[in-house]
């Protein structure tokens, strides 16, 4: 059952994993009457047209913004200020402008000055994604049962916030509202620090002289491969995240380093009790995440395990009768 549209014309600026998933979900749910899309590269615009993800694909950000009552900027956070400057003069009065960036404080500061009075700026961050990028990587169900965090400045009209919240809920997301500053701390620990650590360890493994790259790949099922999934995320997006959320990330890194030093000392001293206590505690946290539906309970992430081979026995090793 499709509801009535919340918006007449949705403009999507940027059609990567997130932008193209919003387009697909909007289509599926009928939350906007029409979708106009644009992307920086001509190849992406062409692909978006081929995939039929929008009613209209335009060449400039200004053209996309023209006449839209919801504009979502779905690009790396470092480019948000510039795009705001481009679209500012073309925004319709009463339009809602939003984004999907993983950092909110800097985006708020970068975009706000360029947005005219009478436009409602409601920054948003859907906490959802995969390790893939580009318009082909998106899918309509990406946001279902994931959280979308809105960080509206206090000056924004509550009805605009509610309208955007209703839009995200129809895309399947749960909506939470908090300050940009608090968002950046929460995501610093739940997303940015894990990505930094994953990127680091994958690099460390690749540079060892004692262990070859092919050995690292071959034996990656022991834990390493889970880190590589995260470390396969979009490099431009993540470069911008760390530059934009520098303070919170450095703060979280400081805490992490202290905790790692404690465990390192326990290993050095052969202090099994400290290790055991720490390792026991973390199991409960995993269980809680599964309990609240933020991860699958299927073991090993439900990775497929191929069937047993049932191969014939090599004769020489048959047990004697």
Please report, as residue ranges, which positions from 35 to 64 form the binding site for a copy of itself (by CB under 8 A).
Answer: none
Pairing of β 32-38 and β 56-57: parallel
- Regarding 305 and contact with a copy of itself (CB under 8 A), the answer is yes
Query: DSSP letter at 18?
Result: H
DSSP conformation letters of 135-160 = TTT--TTTTTT-EEEE---TTS-HHH
Query: Binding residue for a copy of itself (CB under 8 A) from 139, 156, 177, 179?
Result: 139
Query: Binding residue for a copy of itself (CB under 8 A) from 107, 147, 154, 175?
Result: 147
Q: Terminus-to-terminus CA distance in the chain, angstroms?
A: 68
Question: Binding mask 61-100 vs a copy of itself (x if CB under 8 A, - otherwise)?
Answer: --------x--------x----------------------
The number of CA neighbours under 13 Å toward the Cβ of 99 is 26
Q: Closest CB to a copy of itself among 156 and 205? A: 205
Question: Binding mask 214-253 vs a copy of itself (x if CB under 8 A, - otherwise)?
Answer: -xxxxxxxxxxxxxxxxxxx-xx-xxx-xx--x--xx-xx
User: Cβ of residue 94: shortest distance to a copy of itself, in angstroms?
Assistant: 11
Evaluate whether 122 touches 96 at the Cβ level (below 8 Å).
yes
- Tell me which H or E stretch contains 263: helix 246-269
Q: Which of residues 13-32 bind a copy of itself (CB under 8 A)?
A: 25, 28-29, 31-32
- Regarding 118 and contact with a copy of itself (CB under 8 A), the answer is no
CA distance 119 to 111: 12
CA distance 194 to 183: 16
Question: Binding mask 149-188 vs a copy of itself (x if CB under 8 A, - otherwise)?
Answer: x------------xx--xx-xxxx---x-----x--xxx-
């Amino acid at each position: 059952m499709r509801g009535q549209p919340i918006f007449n014309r949705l403009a999507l600026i940027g059609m990567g994993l997130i932008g193209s998933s919003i387009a697909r979900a909007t289509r599926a749910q009928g939350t906007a009457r029409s979708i106009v899309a644009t992307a920086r590269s001509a190849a992406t615009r062409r692909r978006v047209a081929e995939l039929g993800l929008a009613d209209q694909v335009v060449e400039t950000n200004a053209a996309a913004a023209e006449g839209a009552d919801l504009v979502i900027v779905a690009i790396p956070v470092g480019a948000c200020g510039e795009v705001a400057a481009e679209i500012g003069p073309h925004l319709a009065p009463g339009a809602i402008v939003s984004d999907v960036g993983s950092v909110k404080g800097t985006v708020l500061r970068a975009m706000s000055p360029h947005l005219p009075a009478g436009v409602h700026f409601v920054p948003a961050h859907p906490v959802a994604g995969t390790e893939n990028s580009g318009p082909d990587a998106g899918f309509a169900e990406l946001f279902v049962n994931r959280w979308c965090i809105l960080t509206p400045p206090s000056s924004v009209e509550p009805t605009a916030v509610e309208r955007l919240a209703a839009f995200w809920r129809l895309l399947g997301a749960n909506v939470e509202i908090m300050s940009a500053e608090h968002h950046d701390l929460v995501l610093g620990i739940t997303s940015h620090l894990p990505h930094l650590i994953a990127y680091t360890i994958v690099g460390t493994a690749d540079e060892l002289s004692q262990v070859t790259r092919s050995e690292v790949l071959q034996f990656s099922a022991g834990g390493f491969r889970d880190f590589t999934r995260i470390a396969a995320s979009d490099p431009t997006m993540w470069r911008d995240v760390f530059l934009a959320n520098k303070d919170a990330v450095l703060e979280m890194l400081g805490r992490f380093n202290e905790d790692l030093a404690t465990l390192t000392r326990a290993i050095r001293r052969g202090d099994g009790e400290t290790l055991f206590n720490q390792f026991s505690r973390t199991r409960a946290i995993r269980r809680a995440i599964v309990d609240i539906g933020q991860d699958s309970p299927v073991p090993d992430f439900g990775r497929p395990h191929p069937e047993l081979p049932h191969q014939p026995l090599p004769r020489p090793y048959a047990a004697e009768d």
